[in-house]
Structure 1
Amino acid sequence: MSAAHLEAGPVPATQHVAIVDGLRGLAIALVILFHYWQITWWVIPLPFTGGQHNLEALQVAGALGVELFFFLSAFCLTYPQAKTMLEGAPLASLAHYTYRRAIKILPSYWLAMLILLVCFPTLYPTSAERGYWVDVLMHLTFIHNLFADTHYSINGVFWSLGVEVQFYVLFPLLAWGFRRQPWLVCAGMVLLALAYRAWTHTQPLGEFSHLNNQLPGFLDLFAAGMLSAYLLVWLRQGPAVLWAQLRPWCAGLVLLALLVLALLFADLNQARGAAEGYALWQSAHRLALAGLFVVLVVAGSYAPALVRSLIANRVTVWLSLLSYNLYLWHQVVARVIKEYGWWPAATPVPMDDPSWRWSMFVVAWLAALAWAALLTYGFERPLLQYGVRGVLARLRTRWQQFQQANLAEA
């Protein structure tokens, strides 16, 4: 592959894909919009419409950000595999893969569990049925999402980490098959997801929502993420002049995908009123969402810069950087502010105060961003960059320098 090819193409030959960062930022924004809509019941009005139009459909659909997170996770795990398959890049060892997943997920997760269990034990109570320590152990082993009574305990958003880590455990086996038969493995994952979701529809409606949010029900999203990584690396083998000619078509595909997503969001807003309407809609449309995500990543990577900037820009890329800690803490931050009366309302029921609804929404956003930034820059990133031993060594060095400075002053 020539240097000219690399310079001409919009996707660098590294593991960094800007459009994926942008989509991750949009995913966390969607999730926060959904949860803060639930907590405040503030519907964001569209400016200059006199209150006639709003963004409620977008806020309601925000829970689909989790589906996008799953897709992106599979993309990021598979991208190095695709580079090995198509570009001859070295393949990381299983030990390296395990370490990188652990250092990314576990420290921030353990810290969140510790703070919540010690400081806010009643915010998300542990399972009374199983007991405190059993619930904690289930969370530490990431099986809490498998059971309804522990699905939302300790922290309501932890359920998705159970699905995520279960996929991490399964991924080395999937990757082994994917490197040999990528299309066959992805097709098998899609068929398994469709069969599983068809089975969940035969179960009592009260159990359906819980079953719908288990790993098998998301396998088509994970497959789409894996296939997107493969397609992106494969397309990069083509001549740069071809992609220059196809950029207008890629721009059209991205804009069309965004339009279809907006229509789907509006449809979900209409369907949510029925019994288990949200979960039923997700089950029926998950494969379609997976296909749209593929278009956004692949076509978006080759679209003109102006179109790409709709997804990947300074704001969304920064949100992507904070996304893990934002995800872990955004709901907790808002609930603590609300339930501890840190942002008081003028009415006994805060949601009856229109001023409180919008101001609480803004305050919670700012507080969550500030807390997530502190944890990301002060805790998560140093661990990712230096590792546990490296961080401890640097702390030890700084402590020794501090002691020496005090002795010198004395």
Structure 2
Amino acid sequence: MTKLVMQQAPTPAMPRRFLLSASLWGMVAGALLVLDDGSALASRWGGGTLALAHAFTLGVLGNAMFGSLLQFLPVAVQVRVRDGHAAAALLHALLNAGAALLVVALRWPALVSPHWGGVVLGGAFLWLLAILLPGLWAAGGQRFLRWGMGCALLAALVTAGLGVLLVLGVAGTVVIAQPLLTDVHAGWGVLGWVLGLLAAVARVVAPMFQGARPAPLRMQGAWQVALYGLLLAMLMMALAGRVLPGARIGGGLLLLAFALGGLLLQVRAGKLRRVPLTLFWRCGLLALAAAAGSMLAGDAHVVQAGVLVLAIGLPLLVTGMQLEITGFLGWIELQRRCGRGVHLPGVHALVPARDKWALLGLQLAAGLTLVMACLRVIPANGAGVALLLAHAAGVLVQCAAVWRARQFERQRERMR
């Protein structure tokens, strides 16, 4: 099992701002649905749909993954983040400013051109690689883990490059095959960057926090080779102006393999921990499996697949880890402020299980309303309200963890 080196952890405020921003962006996504007239869940090409998708991919998932990387790499892989707090602050500003500009441009195109958001976001992903890749390359040991994370980071750069090209096409600066490159952009972002990174990190977090087995090296290696081989083939064909036959089927099968593989590793675990994180991942994996089924069913179900992946499945996976990291951040902060020899509240006292279970229930309820809205059972506005409340609860849980840590410090000062 990978050993965590807490002394290498960054200043807790560094990853915390990203994790809190992820929940705030979830609220933004809910608000977009509340304001929507129903078109956001009707067609993948509408401005409201694209704005909602990027609120999730850049705002929710982007912030959660950037923040988790800044915490995970120094602690679990002993990777040094270049320029520390100042670099992270710039990264946070670039990511969120770019995401905000792009979402506004997609939802209200008369207000701002989308190429501004694309350029800023391109800078954010370039900066991410600049501060992480040198340390990841220089770190010793754990070659498979570092290889998987490095591939995911490079996939993020390809995603950003394609995104810049697409917004330049929307702005009329270049002439491109928009629908074709949009599919490639989505594939590299969702499968190569997000899913690839989750698969790599799961080798550490699943055994450590859930008690689940890690995937066999050969099987996971074969999955990653197939994944990036498919994405490279899609990119090369798209640059030649052609569609890769069977790309949707291949992507659906790879997504299904990830979901069913994760569920099987949980089922086969000898000492699976009955903790909220385990159920967060189980529910998220089930949603991803359902999304894979929608992808395999045909192009007519692409919106449903997108909702299951971007708004339900992946947020459940990252929120479960987000809560664990939040507790660790509070504990590390107390340890550094109080020094050695002080009996500190445990990680799970800062983010109690009841808060995690409550948040899981709210996210599952929001997911159910989203599925019902896709099926036209309820209006999209109702799903937006549920989504907004679920992510608002995430903000409250994270703020409560900080408040509990501050309360402990104040009580300790009064007792002196």
Which is higher, the Rg of structure 1 or of structure 2? 1
TM-score, length-scaled by structure 2: 0.28
TM-score, length-scaled by structure 1: 0.28
Q: Could you say which structure has the greater relative contact order, defined with CA pairs below 8 angstroms and 6 or more residues apart?
A: 1
